[in-house]
Amino acid sequence: MDEPAIQPTPKPEWALSRRELKKRALLAAGIEPTRFPWLWAGAAVVVVGLAVFVLPQVFAPQASTPTEAAAPAADVVKRLLTIDVATAQPATLSETLKATGSLMPRRSIAIASQVNGTLKSVDVRIGDQVKAGDVLAMVDVETSQIQLSQQRSTAAATRAQLAQAENQLERTLRLADSGLTPSATVESEKASIEALKANLAALEAQVAGAELVIRNATITAPFDGIVAARSIEPGQLITSGAALFDLVDLSMMEMTAYVPVSASPNLKPGQPVTLTVEGLPGQNFAATVEGVSPVAAKGTRTVPVLISVPNPEGKLRGGMFASGSIVIEETKGAFAVPDAALREDADGRYVLRIADGALLRQPVEVKRQWASGRMTELASGLVAGESYVAGQLDDLKPGMRVTVVEN
């Protein structure tokens, strides 16, 4: 006889897990629990996702063709900066050659003493402006004046002796004609007169020399200018040849520029030059080629070119560094465009002219290039006042709508 099966003792409720509690609740409600409930949950998620993605595609209306989608958009307006646009105007075109150098006064002089003596006065300082003939300094000439007075007196006495001797000779000659005076007396008096004449000439030369010393003791300005240096003080003992002052005339300056010998055939006196000077920003100075050396400077391949620079306002100073350009060729009233503005296609060269807010293909006839290819002179194509694209903007084409805006 079989023994009854031993039923396991059920767990108390407090020992059950959450899943076991859920399973016991389902069994109590008469529902058989599923073995893998998470599979059903995943399937539900998949179904919902498909419904969300597929159904709108199935029931959505068919997309229209490109021609039916929308009306054509309005023409796109290209914005151009003012820096990219230029206006045709007659201009002066030129070919230039670079020139640099230091400015120096055309007239400058070192004034030296011509006499020995003590300086009585010095009347000017560095920077003083003087006129021709103005007194700069004086040397004490008291001793020279005494010597001059003595020499003049001696000369006057000799002159009187000469006059007396000449009168005596006239009487002697009359007596000799009457046979009352021997010829030897006549010859003796003639010799005395010649000696007096020679002595008087020497004395007069001494007087003239003394007068010159006194005149030279007053040092004056030889021309209008400015005192650039002063090497003396009152009371100083100086000798002939000692340096006293440097005087410069700034009304006309000079500059020696050195240009390649290969460019020298294009240079000639009278060509205009435009200079800028360090220390004077924003100012241009008009100058002129004064002369061109026929030979290159020793040991170089450059030719010295002398340039004169008028300086009526006195702004320029000696030693200032200047740079600029010599105009070697020039034409006026020409129409030119930047080389970058020129375009070319199968029909030839053209520029993009701007008219009524659109780009137009404007054919042009090129005459020549200037300024090393930076500007191109036109024989025809543009008239004064017409606007055109000055830069090489690759995305611009004839027919485009454009508007010009500030930079």
Co-location of 208 and 265 in the same domain: no
Let me know if residue 66 belongs to a domain. Answer: no
Count of the separate structural domains present in the chain? 4
- Which residues 6+ apart lie within 8 Å of 384 measured at CB? 88, 89, 90, 335
Q: Strands 401-405 and 77-81, how do they pair?
A: parallel
Same domain assignment for residues 323 and 363: no
Print pLDDT tens along the chain (407 aa). 444 444 555 666 656 666 776 666 656 655 555 554 534 344 444 344 444 444 444 444 444 333 333 334 446 889 999 999 999 999 988 889 999 999 999 999 999 999 999 999 999 999 999 999 999 999 998 888 898 999 999 999 999 999 999 998 888 888 877 777 788 888 888 899 999 999 999 999 999 999 999 999 999 999 999 999 999 999 999 999 999 999 999 999 999 999 999 999 999 999 999 999 999 999 999 999 999 999 999 889 999 999 999 999 999 999 999 999 999 988 899 999 999 999 999 999 999 999 999 999 999 999 988 876 688 999 999 999 999 999 888 889 999 999 999 87
Distances (CA, A) of 111 to 209, 210, 227, 231: 21, 21, 10, 10
Q: What is the CA radius of gyration of the chain?
A: 55
DSSP 256-308: EEEEEGGGGGG--TT-EEEEEETTSTT-EEEEEEEEE-SSPPTTSSEEEEEEE
Strands annotated E in 356-393:
358-363, 365-370, 375-380, 387-389
Last residue of a domain, one of 173, 194, 216: 216
Answer yes or no: do 351 and 392 share one domain.
yes
Residue 393 buriedness (CB in 10 A; 0-12 / 13-18 / 19+): middle
Q: Are β-strands 129-130 and 218-220 bridged in parallel, bridged antiparallel, or unpaired?
A: unpaired
Instruction: Indicate the DSSP class of residue 75.
Output: P
Place of tokens 């030059």: 273
- Looking at residue 366, which CATH number applies to its domain? 2.40.420.20
- Strands in 237-238's sheet, in edge-to-edge order, are 218-220, 135-139, 117-122, 237-238
The answer to whether residue 227 sits within a structural domain is: no
User: Are 317 and 362 members of one domain?
Assistant: no
Q: Which of 216, 233, 265 is the last residue of a domain?
A: 216
The domain boundary, picked from 172, 191, 216, lies at: 216
Give the structural domain span for 202. Answer: 141-216
Same domain, 100 and 163: no
Is residue 281 included in any domain, yes or no? Answer: yes
